[in-house]
Amino acid sequence: MIHPDSIEWRLKGSYNLKDQHYTILRDDELKVQCEKITNKLPGEGVGKTKSAFYIDGYEREFHTVEAMVDAYNEKFKFEEENPELEVKYVRVITKRKYGTDNKNNSGL
């Protein structure tokens, strides 16, 4: 299991663009990455930084390091116990059910 403090972030890239600053941090041993985008404000100010966290080979994007660590621990704990299996998350979209169907319950 890992903790947010156990990740050793290393700077992999820092790009100073016209309206934004883009930073890439990575831990190659754990195969996780953090991307930070900071908007520049007029003058010399900077806006709020938006961060995204990723696990290699995992389609999900995480907005906090804690959420990424929870998913990492869940994924790799299961895979260590069952090395021939892997965890995959699937998004399922279904139609909402609203109350009862008036056509069938109208009594007419």
Model pLDDT for residues 44-67, shown as the tens digit of each residue: 778 889 999 999 988 899 999 999
Asked if residue 101 belongs to a domain, the reply is no
Could you list the pLDDT tens digit for every one of the 108 residues in the chain?
Answer: 788 999 999 999 999 988 899 999 999 998 999 999 999 888 777 888 999 999 998 889 999 999 999 998 888 776 565 556 666 667 777 888 876 555 555 444
End-to-end Cα separation, the chain, in angstroms: 61
Sequence-separated (6 or more) residues with CB below 8 Å from residue 90? none
> What total of structural domains would you count in the chain?
1
Compute the distance between CA of residue 43 and CA of residue 31 in angstroms, rounded to an integer. Answer: 37
The per-residue pLDDT for 12 is: 96
Asked if residue 100 belongs to a domain, the reply is no
Compute the distance between CA of residue 69 and CA of residue 60 in angstroms, rounded to an integer. Answer: 12
The pTM assigned to this predicted structure is 0.68
Domain containing 14: what range? 4-81
Asked if residue 58 belongs to a domain, the reply is yes
Compute the distance between CA of residue 15 and CA of residue 22 in angstroms, rounded to an integer. Answer: 5
Helices (H), the chain: 65-81
Can you tell me whether residue 86 is helix, strand or coil?
coil
Compute the distance between CA of residue 26 and CA of residue 29 in angstroms, rounded to an integer. Answer: 9
The per-residue pLDDT for 55 is: 93
